[in-house]
Amino acid sequence: MKRRTVFIVPAILLFLLFTGIFIILYFTRTPFPQKEIRVVAVLKTIDTNMEFWEVVKTAMRMAANELGIGLEIVGPPDESDIESQIRIMEAVIQQKPSVIILAATDRDRLVPLVEKAHSQRIPVITLDSGVKSPLPRTFVATNNVEAARELARYAQQHIPPGSMVAIVNHIPGATTAIEREQGVRSILEKDPRFTIIGTYFTDNFEENAYTIARSLMNQHPRLRALLAMNEVSVIGCARAIRDLGKKGVVQLYGFDNSLVEVQFLEEGVLNATVIQRPFSMGYLSVQIAADVLRGKTFPSFTDTGSVLITPENMYYPEHQKLLFPFVK
């Protein structure tokens, strides 16, 4: 009896040990092995000169690495190349990824492809620029209408009464362009002190923004403000104001926070800019993609927030972190 006990006790201890190890490994395992989950992000552009998108990509890769999921980032070379994005999206759908994250170059023309992905049971999450469809699981972005309203309210306090103002926008069909213009107009069109002479599109080329701004300033002596709706438009307009010696005469209000924009803000050429949270956008979109595959549902819009940066608040520590994000 004593001899049998000698063998039974170690056997029980070994059983308990291996059971404990199994339980620990089960509950601490990586939730999504890379080989099982493949997320493809179809961005508006993969141009490495666009600081906004570089931050988005950095955040996406960080989230994918932490979650242990596969991530591929694709897109056209230019935001204006809608046809290329359509072809890229078609090719991605054929690959049948687990989830597609889409930053649409055109809110209408990408809708059929979102519908196609949906018909093949591929969840789509939209990012930064959405589509005119209820099918995406959520839209991760800035509230562009409200951000533009805040920018316009600030401009309203500083532009001289009786002035002409112009809107310099990027891509006609992009959600960001449409909503930002809507927000600006909702404030300034109601103010009889100002006249909006028009909206001018750059097709997201800096040189186009430069040419448009120079032409407007030369043709309209009463022009006192340009409202530029993205990074490229801001930089082109700022260069034109500087080159024509119009600093302090023609004010500039914009979006985004590239290093060049920050320099123009410090010089007083750029009077205010709305900073989005591209890191939050990128990270959250991948995190949500993983959660969608777990069966979690989300509201139709996920607001990542924005901050209005002015000469008065640009040196606040919390704003410095937004102005100078870490980009690998």
Asked if residue 321 belongs to a domain, the reply is: no
Q: Are residues 125 and 90 in the same domain?
A: yes
| 258 pLDDT tier (thresholds 50, 70, 90) | confident
Q: Are residues 119 and 136 in the same domain?
A: yes
Q: Are residues 170 and 210 in the same domain?
A: yes
> 102, 133 in Cβ contact below 8 A?
no
What's the pTM value of the predicted model, to 2 decimals? 0.82
Report, as an integer, the average pLDDT of 294-313: 94
Give the pLDDT confidence score for residue 12 in this predicted structure: 55
Given a cut of 90, is residue 302 above it in pLDDT?
A: yes
What CATH code is carried by the domain that includes residue 268? Answer: 3.40.50.2300
Report, as an integer, the average pLDDT of 287-304: 96
Name which of 5-19, 85-99, 181-195, 221-235 the model is least confident about.
Answer: 5-19
Q: What is the dihedral of CA 53, 57, 58, 59, to 10 degrees?
A: 100
Give the pLDDT confidence score for residue 25 in this predicted structure: 43
Give the pLDDT confidence score for residue 223 in this predicted structure: 98
Give the pLDDT confidence score for residue 84 in this predicted structure: 97
Rounded to the nearest integer, the mean pLDDT of the chain is 90
| 20 pLDDT tier (thresholds 50, 70, 90) | low
Q: Are residues 101 and 174 in the same domain?
A: no
Residue 211 lies in domain: 144-275
Given a cut of 70, is residue 111 above it in pLDDT?
A: yes
Asked if residue 191 belongs to a domain, the reply is: yes
Give the pLDDT confidence score for residue 180 in this predicted structure: 97
User: Could you read off the pLDDT of 116-156 as tens digits, one per residue?
Assistant: 999 999 999 999 999 999 999 999 999 999 999 999 999 99
Asked if residue 310 belongs to a domain, the reply is: no
Report, as an integer, the average pLDDT of 20-32: 46
Q: Are residues 156 and 115 in the same domain?
A: no
Number of structural domains, the chain?
2
Q: Are residues 152 and 262 in the same domain?
A: yes
Q: What percent of the chain has pLDDT over 70?
A: 88
Instruction: Please give the residue that has the higher pLDDT: either 20 or 106.
Output: 106
Q: Are residues 243 and 287 in the same domain?
A: no
Q: Are residues 235 and 289 in the same domain?
A: no
> Which H or E element spans position 18?
helix 2-28
Q: Are residues 270 and 284 in the same domain?
A: no
Asked if residue 159 belongs to a domain, the reply is: yes
Asked if residue 149 belongs to a domain, the reply is: yes
Given a cut of 50, is residue 27 above it in pLDDT?
A: no
> 188, 163 in Cβ contact below 8 A?
no
Q: Are residues 155 and 240 in the same domain?
A: yes
| 103 pLDDT tier (thresholds 50, 70, 90) | very high
Asked if residue 27 belongs to a domain, the reply is: no
Report, as an integer, the average pLDDT of 78-100: 97
Distances (CA, A) of 311 to 145, 148, 271: 23, 18, 7
Asked if residue 68 belongs to a domain, the reply is: yes
Distances (CA, A) of 312 to 38, 77, 267, 271: 45, 36, 13, 10
Give the pLDDT confidence score for residue 26 in this predicted structure: 45
DSSP string, 41-54: EE-S---TT-HHHH
Give the pLDDT confidence score for residue 263 in this predicted structure: 94
Q: Are residues 168 and 268 in the same domain?
A: yes
Picking from 85, 44, 119, 39, the residue whose alpha carbon sits closest to that of residue 284 is 39
Cα(first)–Cα(last) distance of the chain, in Å? 69
User: Could you read off the pLDDT of 177-188 as tens digits, one per residue?
Assistant: 999 999 999 999
Give the pLDDT confidence score for residue 30 in this predicted structure: 41
Given a cut of 90, is residue 288 above it in pLDDT?
A: yes
Q: Are residues 119 and 156 in the same domain?
A: no
Report, as an integer, the average pLDDT of 51-57: 93
Asked if residue 221 belongs to a domain, the reply is: yes
Q: What percent of the chain has pLDDT over 90?
A: 81
Report, as an integer, the average pLDDT of 20-40: 57
Q: Report the length, in residues, of the chain.
A: 328
